[in-house]
Amino acid sequence: MGLDIYRALFDLTGRTALVIGAGSGIGKAGAEALAAFGAEVTCADLDADAAARTADGIVADGGNATAAQVDIGDPTSVRAVVDRPDVVVCTPAINVRKPMLSITPDEFRRVVDLNLAGTFNVMTAAAAGMADRGRGSIIVISSIRSQVVEPGQGVYSATKAGVVQMVKTLAAELGPKGVRVNALAPGVVETPLTEQIKTHPDWYRAYAEKSALGRWAQPSEMAGAIVYLASDAASYVTGSLLVVDGGWLAVDGRFTPPLPE
């Protein structure tokens, strides 16, 4: 077969990708990266202007992109943008950082409705068409909070764990039809979702120091994982949780023992 088969592993030329949440953060970086590797990208977001800015930036850099507005909480809105894509990436999420005993039923429903039910809407709408066509890759954003928790992250963590279980189930159900479904678990990434933390220097620094790399990630550092899962390089990868966390889950605790030199 030669080396050309390996050189082509990440080539997305001729494929279509829908990135939901492309207006900012990880979604924006993912849309840009998929376009850079040749995909024709639909940049979708609840904020139509933000989606258009991302698409315009891609086109200005020589890529192929259009923009669309979508509300993942509305199945009809989702179905309107899921039009035969080869790749679907779903990134939107919200968080309410409060102790469990302080979370109101309305706050609980808001987080669950977007993070879990919204992701369900996207996954099922995309998967139906992919199953009929016999191919496709679905990538959803989970979190390290699907694996480890801290005070104030109860409902968010539950939804991110739920996303992983939906990914595994859909991968099992649609694997025979050629559809791959995977989740990405970022660590701490500088996005609008984590903007609150930057106003607390001690909190921000503690998160940086927890990872093995000793720093926060940029959204662009999640883009390689998205391209990988979308591409033929991951042709045998499904039902997986790909952790991109700077070593957060690998390091035990936030204390460095006084070891001898």
Instruction: Name the residues annotated as catalytic.
Output: 156
Instruction: State the burial class of residue 101 (Cβ atoms within 10 Å of its Cβ: 0-12, 13-18, 19+).
Output: exposed
For helices 25-36 and 48-60, what crossing angle results, to 10°? 30
Sign of the four-CA dihedral 232, 233, 236, 241: negative
Q: How many CA atoms lie within 13 A of 19 on its CB side?
A: 34
**214: buried, middle or exposed (CB in 10 Å: 19+, 13-18, 0-12)?**
exposed
Q: Which residue has the tokens 């559809």?
A: 179
CA 246, 252, 253, 258: dihedral to nearest 10 degrees? Answer: -100
Provide the CB-side half-sphere exposure for 221 (13 A, CA). Answer: 16
